[in-house]
Chain A
């Protein structure tokens, strides 16, 4: 059912974990639907310098989270925002049609994390 790349990213997902003092946090999905992710980012000069996540979800969800974070790291925020689940699916060598929504969740979490960072960024600067 799954491509080799999906299985690789499921067996050895990249960027798993959490960041001690994250600059942005995004939580997406719903455990009752069997799918949730918590994603952290560290931002320097408008660029994602570190990104970590934890995922409760199917193999496609884990693999998508792994791939999305690999694509996002080192990108400027606006660049990262333009990443879509299709980019993720393509980099994974494709996902079964009914699993595409799993890669959507990671994309949502990243968007929310960036929003979170941007919302706090202003007040943070003011506090400094």
Chain B
């Protein structure tokens, strides 16, 4: 397989070399069960606790506030179902946004089926919610606000500090799906007054299948477990810990903490170079999202007159891996729910590509992409009945 230019880091990324190296011993040498009393088990336990400290450190939490899970989706389910479950059937209203990841949206939809009320806040053209809308949506029964830290499709960063303050002042629990933000931008759960926060390992150089949920130690009531069984993870999440992956997550968290600023700057430069290069060479392109306030690695662009999946496939043929927000690449026939919520034109929005940069990208790669895309767009536009030249 020829080397690809991978621009889909928001979907997933490679495990960092240092992470992989740290993990290996825990597969074959230090394979103890952390719950075991013998020394092999205790050594594994120490490695897990070391990882716990590192993850806590990355987000400004205490180690005993970090619960390891199988990833972002589990953490989202755990936070939302767990917290609502702790209310023991009392009337509850949840406020979320229309642009959350499906792991949050589908969980809230599911809870609506058993009588929980929900409000899905609209977003503006930039994909942001209006803080006033949030405040207006709060009613006596509002018990949980769950709003993502940064959007996976557009990179738009939400005003988490303001949301945290409102929630804290009103005694409403606040969960944020920070899967795209942790490891990319600074996150501090104390400063931002966050009660629960989801982390996914594979978005930050750790393996797939591992993540964490931060739960503020004095959150009251405490979420009930999703997974019952042994007393693992402070009695909150049963199941023998995936030691190698958790160790990997810890190392990735430490690397992220040390490199956050530099990495952010580097990726911003590359992303801005990519965007400028494309906008210079191709007309009828629009950028989706809050351009001034988004993740530095993400660029969501709609190319008029072409369809996203064909663009994505053509890019793939040229060795470039991206994601598309178009209909035909998913199961639905409409735009992605995020683009729909942002009011992106339904036809232009069909030609949407998400570029999300990361660890392995270089200037040379970006330049190749800038040189290649115009040819592809030209061909697809000439093929399209919607494009009239001149």
Contact = CB atoms under 8 A, between A and B. Distances in A.
Nearest to B327: A34
A16 B383 contact: yes
Interface stretch (A5-13, A42-50, A116-124): A5-13
B305 A56 contact: yes
B317 to A, nearest CB: 7
A32 B351 CA distance: 11
Contact of A34 (B307, B314, B317, B385): B307
A11 B308 contact: no
Interface residues of A, number: 27
B310 A36 contact: no
B309 A59 contact: yes
B383 A58 contact: no
Nearest to B345: A32
A7 B314 CA distance: 9
Interface stretch (B218-226, B232-240, B265-273, B328-336): B328-336
Range of interface residues on chain B? 20 to 34
A61 interface: yes
Interface in A35-68: 35-38, 54-62
B166 interface: no
B386 interface: yes
B310 A31 contact: no
B306 interface: yes
B310 A38 contact: no
Given A11-B317, A13-B383, A33 B310 contact: no
B166 to A, nearest CB: 37
Given A31-B350, A33-B327, A34-B308, A55 B313 contact: no
A34 B313 contact: no
Contacts of A54: 383-385
Given A58-B309, A59-B313, A61-B328, A36 B333 contact: no
Contacts of A56: 305-307, 350, 383-386
A32 B346 CA distance: 5
Given A16-B383, A38-B385, A55-B385, A62 B310 contact: yes
B300 to A, nearest CB: 17
Given A56-B305, A102-B328, A34 B383 contact: no
Nearest to B329: A58
A42 to B, nearest CB: 18
B347 interface: yes
B198 interface: no
Nearest to A56: B384
Contacts of A27: 385
Given A33-B333, A61-B310, A55 B328 contact: no
Contacts of A38: 385
A98 B347 CA distance: 21
A86 interface: no
Nearest to A102: B328
Closest 4 CB pairs of A and B: A58-B328, A58-B309, A54-B385, A34-B327
26 contacts: A2-B313, A10-B310, A10-B313, A11-B314, A16-B383, A31-B386, A34-B333, A34-B350, A35-B328, A36-B386, A37-B385, A38-B385, A54-B383, A54-B385, A55-B383, A55-B384, A56-B305, A56-B306, A56-B385, A57-B307, A57-B310, A58-B307, A58-B313, A59-B310, A61-B310, A102-B328
Interface of A: 2, 7, 10-11, 13, 16, 27, 31-38, 54-62, 98-99, 102
Interface of B: 305-310, 313-314, 317, 326-329, 331, 333-334, 346-347, 350, 382-386
